[in-house]
Amino acid sequence: MSVGEVNVVLVHGAWADGSSWGKVIHGLKARGMNAIAAALPLTSLGDDVAALNRTLERIDGPVVLAGHAYAGAVIGSVRAENVAALVYVAALAPDEGETVADVFYRGETHPQAPKLAPDSHGLIWLPEDAFAAAFAQHATAQEVQLLAAVQRPIAAACIGEKVARPLWKDRPSWFLVAEEDRMISPATQHFMARRMGAEVHSCEADHAPIVTAAQTVTDLIVKAAQAVLDR
């Protein structure tokens, strides 16, 4: 078997959509891999898990499931049997009984991190200037413009739900720490990765390595896929 026989499902985080994985998708396709970007409604953690499960139901064969940022909580909450490995990219990995907020606010807040609060509809938007200042400070001006233009708000309900036993306790996992992340403390990322027992990699990237360090992300996903084949 080749890595092309392992499927990859990519899951976006808050304030993003599947297009944020564009460079990684192209990189995986170039290596002959089937890559799909799952769409999350970002309305509640339960809704997001259900949406991801619907995507996974459509796929035959083993899956490497990769999540960015908030999506770490989502990929850790599915129970699909075809998920063979998990890849966390600057992602949040709450343990059983924890919420996304518990881990997101665990470390010190970066001075340039935006102040976040829900609007009258219970939705949390990222201020437009935060994309260049904290979300993707290493991105090009064009990339920042696109990220800001397609942003989708996350419901406050998503970050307040306690998670059940996370899948990373039962599947092998890889974790890419973004050492220059201004949204999720790198120290918190290292803490979560160690707690998970993940294979840890790090790079000098901002919060959006899927955009600004796409080759590194692609290489890590391919490594996870190869490990699935080698088992």
**Tens of pLDDT along 26-75?**
999 999 999 999 999 999 999 999 999 999 999 999 999 999 999 999 99
pTM of the model: 0.97
Nearest by Cα to 132 from 120, 118, 142: 142
Q: Which CATH architecture has domain 3-230?
A: 3-Layer(aba) Sandwich (3.40)
- Residue 169 tokens read as 């306790």
Map out the domains of the chain as residue ranges: 3-230
Helix (H) or strand (E) holding 54: helix 45-57
The SS3 call for residue 83 is strand
* Mean predicted confidence (pLDDT) in 103-132: 94
